[in-house]
Amino acid sequence: MRVSSVSIPEVVREIITRNRSINDCMKMDLINYTALAVKIQPEIERILGNSVNLNTVVVAIKRYADSFEIKEGVKEESVLKNARLALTDGIMDIKFSVKESNEMDPTTILDKFSKVTNNYEFFRLSDSFRFLAEDMEGIREIFSNVSHRDNMFSTGLAKIRISIPTSQNQSDVVSYVAEVLHANGVELVNAFFSQDNITIILNEKDSSRAYDILHSDIMRT
């Protein structure tokens, strides 16, 4: 388990990836980078907790757009070549903000998690803490004293962990996976990055089909 830090390019990529219309327009080269930067700058500043230079956002958008061109140039070889997949159903997404961490110390929570299960993931984002774990009563009890606990849990989810060899470029994996699944009528709920792998979150009802789609993509390489 690793804790992730967040940069402006990573935030830009996350915002674009989860916005299907922006993502599709960028692929078709229909996006004005400066106009998009102005549109998403407030959200980036909210996530990072500080002001960001508009030109820096424009550069990050341009670099992300360039990744689509590079991907098209190597279209015969799947971005998922040599990837390994691991599917887990019955997942619960637990989220609380940095401001709320005064009430819930993440270190203490991690210690409690380890006593209940080893099958969980922890992500430190710029504005929040996220836990992905099996939907178990023991996990829910950890947060039993939290006043707004009902708003913390997102259930009915599944996760697919995608492990890519370190020798391969991982930067465009999420956009590629989102594109492949979208083309087959499956949408991502969220995606998380770490140094070792990428974890995509889906509705549980779509998980088996999504796994089969991605596994077939890997096998054709």
| β-sheet bridge partners, residue 161 | 86, 199
CA contacts within 13 A on the Cβ side of 182? 15
Summarised one tens digit per residue, pLDDT across range 148-181 is 666 788 899 999 999 988 776 666 788 888 888 9
pLDDT, average across residues 7-31 = 83
Residue 144 main-chain phi, psi, to 5 deg = -65, -25
From the centroid of its chain, how far is CA 60? 18
Do 173 and 201 lie in a common domain?
Answer: yes
Range of the domain at 15: 8-73
Same domain as 107, residue 39? no
For residue 173, how many other CB atoms are within 10 A of its CB? 20
Residue 73 has pLDDT above 50, yes or no: no
pLDDT at 75 exceeding the cut of 50: no
Question: pTM (2 decimals)?
Answer: 0.61
The pLDDT confidence band at residue 87, using thresholds 50, 70 and 90, is: very high
Same domain, yes or no: 156 and 104: yes
Could you give the number of structural domains in the chain? Answer: 2
The least confident of 6-15, 55-64, 67-76 is 67-76
- Residue 74's pLDDT is 43
Which band of pLDDT confidence, cut at 50, 70 and 90, is reported for residue 219? Answer: confident
Judgement on whether residues 67 and 101 belong to the same structural domain of the protein = no
Tell me: pLDDT of 25 over 60.
yes
Picking from 17, 47, 73, the residue at the C-terminal end of a domain is: 73
The set of long-range contacts for 142-150, using a CB threshold of 8 Å and a minimum separation of 24, is: 142/109, 142/112, 142/113, 142/116, 143/94, 143/104, 146/96, 146/103, 146/104, 147/103, 148/100
| pLDDT band at residue 208 under the 50/70/90 scheme | very high
- CA-CA distance, 138 to 94, in Å (whole number)? 13
Q: Are residues 174 and 66 in the same domain?
A: no
Closest of 153, 124, 129 to residue 141, by C-alpha: 153
Q: How confident is the model at residue 1 (pLDDT cuts 50, 70, 90)?
A: very low
* Beta-carbon contacts of residue 134 (< 8 Å; ≥ 6 apart): 88, 90, 91, 92, 117, 119, 120
Q: Assess whether 61 and 95 both reside in one domain.
A: no
Same structural domain, 59 and 97: no
57-66, 77-86, 106-115, 145-154: which is most confident:
57-66
Confidence class for position 144, pLDDT limits 50, 70, 90: confident
